[in-house]
Structures are given as structure tokens and as C-alpha cells.
Amino acid sequence: MCTSTWAHGAPSICKAAAAQGLIAVSVGYRRGEYPNFVDDAAMALRWVRDHIAALGGDLNNVFLSGHSAGAHIASLMVVSHARYLAPHNIPPSFIKGLTLISGIYNLFAPLEKALFDMKNKGFVLLYVFPSFGSDRTVRREASPLILLDPTGTDTSLAGRAAMATPAGWHPPSILSWRADPFEIQKERQRNVDVADRIEVNKSSLPPCLVMNCQFDLGLGGDGKKMAAALSKHTEAEYVCVPMADHGSVCRSDATHDKMVSFMLKQYNRDLKPS
């Protein structure tokens, strides 16, 4: 990955970890159709399990992290362990802790909603459709927040660009930006149907650190929801890094310090006598 690219966080995070004496592996993945990039990350984790000890790494203290799309991939692998990691003989206990930075956990409406919800509509059009397609069931399967909290996650978009009537199309009224409550209920039931059909890992999730930043493109609400959903099943902490944006959060000393302290906390637990 290019260290000069604003939104690529892995190089900065890996350098900070290495500066603390840790072994850090920066994982790349194919850009394109789902689930190729998730499978790439899963294969990289298998490589770590097979080879990191030969490089001086401790197989009992492997932490997984991701930034932005990487946080989505990392969380999806852990939540859908049976689908992505079990085929590579990676047990849930292999991941000592999970750090998610400025991630996307809901592929329908991860951004803070506003009038007509244009930010989320733009996000879906520009980023979700090219990689995941328009099949809403597929998008639910690939949304870790929906899998963990199907009834509490809103997949309906507020606002209508136009409304259909027997007389044709006309502009919406000023009140039509509100999502239809009946549609919201139907959408949540569809979430439940998908989550019930998939083997969701809830009983063996690792401790989690979920981070956003002060200027995070409107992703803070989604991060808080993900932390709350995780906290129902494991230890989860939410942190907002001040004076950082979606790219610079990975270069922030505050981010590095929090990540290292999180890892040390999990590591030191094993050192205490039982």
C-alpha cells in the first residue's frame, strides 16, 4: 500500500506497532466483487498462523485490526467465522483481540442521516453496488452489524427523490424524507431472517476496540452501534479520537497509544496467576 494515500491506514498502523517491538503484517486484498477481498484477508490470516512463529511471532498473541473497508472485512471475518475462517482451520481463539478503526458495518446506511439521506444513497451507489451488487440479501449477509443486531439496525433509506402516483412522477413533499415505519419493520424482519439462516459467531468473539474520530465522514454513529452490538457478547470499548479525520486517524498518536494499551491489556491478562 502507498503510504502517501490519504485513506490507507495499514502502513501507519503497522509502523506504530513495529515501533513498540511488535510484528505487524500489512494485508492487501483484491479490489472487486465480494467475497473475493474477504477470502484474501482470510488467507492472509492463515499465512500468519502458518508462518509468523518462524519470524519470531507469538501464536498465542495475534491481534487483528482494520481501517475503513479493512475494519468491515476484519469484523465480518470474525462475526461470520464459520464461513470465512473455519475453512482455513483458524479457531476463534486464534484472534486475541480485534481493533476496528473508522469502519463500515452496515452496507445500507452507515452514515449519519440527513434530509433525503443523500449521503447514504451516494455511498451505496458509489461504493456498495460496484463490490456487492444490488441484492439486498447479499448486503445483509455482508453487514456484521446486521448479523449481530438484526432488529436494531435500520436498512431503510429515508427520503425519496421522486414519488409515483397514477398521474405520474412528482417531487416529494417536505415530510416525505421520513422513512415509512411499516417499511422499517419489514426491513428489520428481513434482517432477522438472514441472521437466523447464517451461523453467526456470538459466543466466541474476541475483546474488541472500536474507534472513530472527530471528523469521520459521519461514520461515528455506526461505530457506536457496532460497539454496542459487540458488547452484548464480548468485552467491547468505544473510543473517539479527537482532532483527526478518516485518513489521519491512523497516523494519530492517540490512536496508536490506545491500540497498544488495548493489546497490552489482553496480553497481561494471561500473565496474571489464576
Q: What is the pLDDT of residues 188-198, one digit of tens each?
A: 999 999 999 99
pLDDT tens-digit map of 10-36: 889 999 999 999 999 999 898 889 999
Give mean pLDDT, residues 54-69.
96
Q: Exposure string (b/e) for 246-259, b if CB count within 10 Å is 16 or more?
A: bbbbbbbebbbebb
Say whether pLDDT at 248 is over 70.
yes
Instruction: Report pLDDT for 183.
Output: 77
Q: Exposure string (b/e) for 45-56, b if CB count within 10 Å is 16 or more?
A: bbebbeeeeeee
| C-alpha–C-alpha distance, residues 156 and 179, integer Å | 7
| C-alpha–C-alpha distance, residues 202 and 78, integer Å | 9
| C-alpha–C-alpha distance, residues 35 and 45, integer Å | 16
Instruction: Report pLDDT for 4.
Output: 47
Spatial CA neighbour of 131 closest among 76, 179, 85: 76
Say whether pLDDT at 230 is over 50.
yes
